[in-house]
Amino acid sequence: MSVIREGKVKRVLEDPESSQHVIIEFTNFVTAGDGAKKEELEGKGRLACDITEFLLQYLSDKGIETHYVETLEGPKIRCFRAAILPVEVVCRNVAAGSFCRRYGIDRGIELSEPLVEFFLKDDKLGDPLITEEAVMRLQLVNRSDIGFMKSIALSVNHYLSELFAQQNLRLVDFKLEFGRTADGRLVVADEISGDTMRIWNKEGESLDKDLFREDSGDLLSAYVGLLDILRKTDPKIIPIRSEEVHVMVMPKEGIKNPPGEVTRKGLIRLGFQDVKEVRVGKEFKIVLTRPLTSSLLKGLELMNIKLLTNPIAETHEVRLS
Amino acid sequence: MAIAVIRFPGTNNEKDVMRVLASIPGGDPYLVPNYDGPGPLARADGVFIPGGFSYGDYLRAGAVASVEAIIDGVVEIAKAGKPVIGICNGFQILAEAGLLPGVLLPNKSARFVCKWINLRTCETKSIYTEGLDSAILRIPIAHAEGNYYCSEEDLHMLKGEGRVSFRYCNSEGEPTQEVNPNGSLDNIAGIVNERGNVLGMMPHPERASRAILGSTDGLAILENFVRATKAP
């Protein structure tokens, strides 16, 4: 099998059986600080592979599209070939790691709501934080895909948090990568394991790569423990939650908007002389039965063409987050 | 001939329409509630979609009704070349369903307009305006969304193909802006489809069909419609 890409802890290989798929091989390496710290731990690849298989399968059962197809001997997994987006997505529930250093706050502070952040994938720059606006202005990812990634990150956060909560563990934060498949679907790619998330027990002790980063414990036995814990969970009893999206419909520019005109007159009467124009549109809150997928996104566009919008006179915008 | 008069939740002109159609020789109207679906339309020689406020005018006037299963039956009738007429909300439904080009937007005044207007029969040579060459008809309107709008290309096409059936006009028959009751593009009050068998119009001919109502000017349009249902 020829190597497509040699990562720090994984190898991406051509799938000899299908050009639609690739094979990801988990090595025994563990790195931290962008490879500044590196070690080989016998059995680590197997553990990361098994945890990834478990979690991607679980997310997929909850309706989240991932690149995972099946597990092979190896430790390897077969995945859909996907062009990886140039930003990675981090979702945080509790302050830890770079978030604490960035804002000078203590490890363990609860965030009022889950926070989604984007990081530019660039090893030379050390994967810096990047704002959504910058992602769009640099045309790295479009607005719709950003909204999609945020929505999925929050869904993943919900399902993983619920799963770990069954075993009294706290999901602190995690990283996701997204890729676009040949048939245009945006899917969760890469691995989801102790290497890509922080998990704490009730005492605030880590069961993840922080043990290696901080030389604070035995990573291998933590990963054995993590896999053990996952196998004790009952993913089936976690219900699929609904997700909310919004559709904004506006009268096209150039088309008179009488409701807006009379509203403006009312505002002027009330003394708001600076109101130059008011245009009245509509907002639809649409609650979906399951997490967003690329085909649901296409469905939302169709809903607009078929009913929500009259394209002769109106424009629409689907807001995912 | 058998004329299906379709009633959606919120339709409120179906009784007036049935009464006028039944009074016209050859007119044999029967009511079809939307929930019966397209089945009962199979025996129809023509379809009439009366006015009202289908589905409370929610979303956009006519939009929700336009995606009902029964509309598939209306499309079939239209495809077969049989006459289909939509009055007021019926026009809005036909436009939303794509059987007629354009859309009916909220009135320029942002108010419900209910009044008698003058209507000029235009360049059209459709079945509906036979014998009404350049006539000025006195017919009432009653709507909040009658502001006809379409793309420039569509307007050009409608005019070029003689598909504007009626325009709002003054007592001299001139389509001036002063007498445009709702802001309609080019004073358009009614149009037909490419084949000329589907008519949509905002004014209510059934409300101007007896002397006691104040005018009988609308009757000719309905008589033309009934006659067309008999055509082979």
Interface confidence (ipTM) of the complex:
0.84
> Is-catalytic flag, B204?
yes
Q: Which of the residues B14, B150, B169, B204 is marked catalytic?
A: B204
Contact A176, A89 (CB under 8 A): yes
Question: What are B215's strand-pairing partners?
Answer: B210
Q: How many domains does chain B have?
A: 1
- Domains of chain A from N-terminus onward: 3-237 (3.30.470.20), 243-319 (3.30.1280.10)
Q: Distance between CA A111 and CA A114 in Å, rounded?
A: 7
Q: Give per-residue burial for A43-71: e unless 16+ CB within 10 Å, then b.
A: ebbebbbbbbbbbbebbbebbbbbbbbeb
Length of chain A equals 321
Does pLDDT of B231 surpass 70? Answer: no
pLDDT in the model for residue B232: 56
**Is the peptide bond preceding residue B101 cis, with omega within 30 degrees of 0?**
no
Give chain A's residues under pLDDT 50: none
- Measured in whole angstroms, how far is the alpha carbon of residue A243 from the centre of its chain? 14
Residue B124 has a pLDDT of: 67
Q: What is the pLDDT of residues A160-195, one digit of tens each?
A: 999 999 999 999 999 999 999 999 999 999 999 999
Check CB contact under 8 Å for B149 and A306. Answer: no
Question: Which of A173, A183, A201, A166 has its CA nearest to residue A58?
Answer: A166
In this structure, what CATH number is given to the domain that contains residue B188? 3.40.50.880
CB nearest to B150's CB, from A261, A262, A312: A312
Residues B88, B122, B150, B169: which is the catalytic one?
B88
Q: A265 touching B, CB under 8 A?
A: no
The dihedral through the CA atoms of A159, A121, A27, A217 has a sign that is negative
pLDDT of residue A1: 74
* Partner-chain contact A307 B59, CB within 8 Å: yes
Asked whether B67 and B25 are in contact (CB, 8 A), the reply is no
Q: How far apart are CA B40 and CA B31, in angstroms?
A: 9
The answer to whether A255 contacts chain B (CB < 8 Å) is yes
- What whole-number distance in Å separates Cα of residue B3 and Cα of residue A150? 54
How far does B82 lie from chain A, in Å, by closest CA?
26
A307 inside 8 A of chain B by CB: yes
Among residues A193, A271, A203, A276, the alpha carbon closest in space to that of A227 is found at: A193
**Model confidence over B119-171: pLDDT tens digits?**
999 876 789 999 998 899 999 999 999 999 999 999 999 999 999 999 999 99
| Residue B206 falls in the annotated catalytic set | yes
User: Would you say A46 and A226 are in contact if contact means Cβ atoms under 8 Å apart?
Assistant: no
Interface membership of A306 toward B (CB under 8 Å): yes
pLDDT of B66 strictly over 90: yes
Query: In the 3-class helix/strand/coil scheme, how is B31-82 assigned residue by residue?
Result: EEEHHHCCHHHHHCCEEEECCECHHHHCCCCCCCHHHCHHHHHHHHHHHCCC
Other C-beta atoms closer than 10 Å to the C-beta of A273 total 8
> β-strand A21-26 against A10-14: which pairing, if any?
antiparallel
Structural domain boundaries enclosing B108:
2-230
Query: Could you give the CA distance from residue B133 to residue B165 in angstroms, rounded to a whole number?
Result: 10
Measured between CB atoms, which of A256, A307, A312 is closest to B108? A256
